[in-house]
Amino acid sequence: MVKPWFRLICKREQLQLLGTLNGGQSFRWKFIDLEGDKKWIGVFEKHVWILKQNDDEISYQVYGSDNDEKFYNNMLANYFQLNLDLKQHFAEWSSKDPIFKKAANQFYGIRILNQDLVENIFSFICSSNNNISRITSMVEKLALLFGEKICDIDGQVYFSFPPVEALAQDDVESVLKKEGFGYRAKYISESAKLITKEGVGRWLEELKTLPYEESRTKLITLTGIGPKVSDCICLMSLRHLQSIPVDTHVYQIARKFYMHSLPKRKTVTTKIYKDIGDHFRELYGPLAGFSFVLI
């Protein structure tokens, strides 16, 4: 059944799909350009979305349920965090930081996605020592093997991301190893079993209520999650928008452009990690993670 096209009024300066959807936040989106017909196809909240963008609006189709435009507009607004006036914040951050101003002129409209917590946890476990293309393949494989079918569009079958319970089954590790997940197979299996043992609903709901630092601490108890991945999850699924995920790339940027006194290191120590995060939180304020995605 062909779905109707709906409209979400949103200027490109407030949301740019290019950069937001292909920047390593979510791994469920694919860009398609058929003779100038440019669109994004992706999955979130157990729905398949087809998005097209012009300077003033996003037109879209949704597969997975039958609701009205207002319902789906609210889902998109929540996913893209459209309650935040990006143009206003960009102007504020640009006035504080000439480096940000230069980046904002080119990469305007890039937002932090508000993603499903379970999908984000296991997607970023897959990200360990990995690239976007391979992470995308692994996340799609998890959905195919353990998720539920949503729909079939033009011969392509789309699946939802699996619940924790599905990833906690005894054979998950061996299945994923055969699929090329390597050591990440064990990380996924052990983390899913830990959450399940403590009670999936209780564990997730408690995590959502914790303050930022306590959220990080709880996430790091999962196998395969360190400081950077915990900050990615805090930033993109728990609305801790002050989170700054720090890796060697971020460290190099911080040392070169902002914190010249940082010691030269091959790896990021706990102290350096905290110092970098604190520096940008002081510079950008409570939405530091939202702004730092451009840098």
In this prediction, what percent of the chain has a pLDDT beyond 70?
100
Compute the mean pLDDT over every residue in the chain, rounded to the nearest whole number.
Answer: 95
pLDDT at res. 11: 96
228 is an active site residue: yes
Long-range contact pairs involving 54-58 (C-beta distance under 8 Å, separation at least 24): 54/12, 55/11, 55/12, 56/9, 56/10, 56/11, 56/12, 57/7, 57/8, 57/9, 57/10, 58/7, 58/8, 58/10, 58/15, 58/17
pLDDT reading at 87 higher than 80:
yes
38, 96, 178, 228: the catalytic one is 228
pLDDT reading at 284 higher than 90:
yes
In this prediction, what percent of the chain has a pLDDT beyond 90?
91
The answer to whether the predicted template modeling score (pTM) of the entire model surpasses 0.85 is yes
For residue range 20-68, what is the model confidence (pLDDT) as tens digits?
Answer: 999 999 999 999 998 788 999 999 999 999 999 999 999 999 999 999 9
Confidence band (pLDDT; 50, 70, 90) for 144?
very high
In the chain, the domains with their CATH numbers are 6-83 (3.30.310.40), 87-113+241-295 (1.10.1670.10), 117-237 (1.10.340.30)
Concatenating the DSSP letter of every residue in 70-82 gives HHHHHHHHHHTTT
pLDDT at res. 236: 97
Span 190-208, average pLDDT: 98
pLDDT at res. 258: 95
pLDDT at res. 197: 97
DSSP 8-state class, residue 261: T
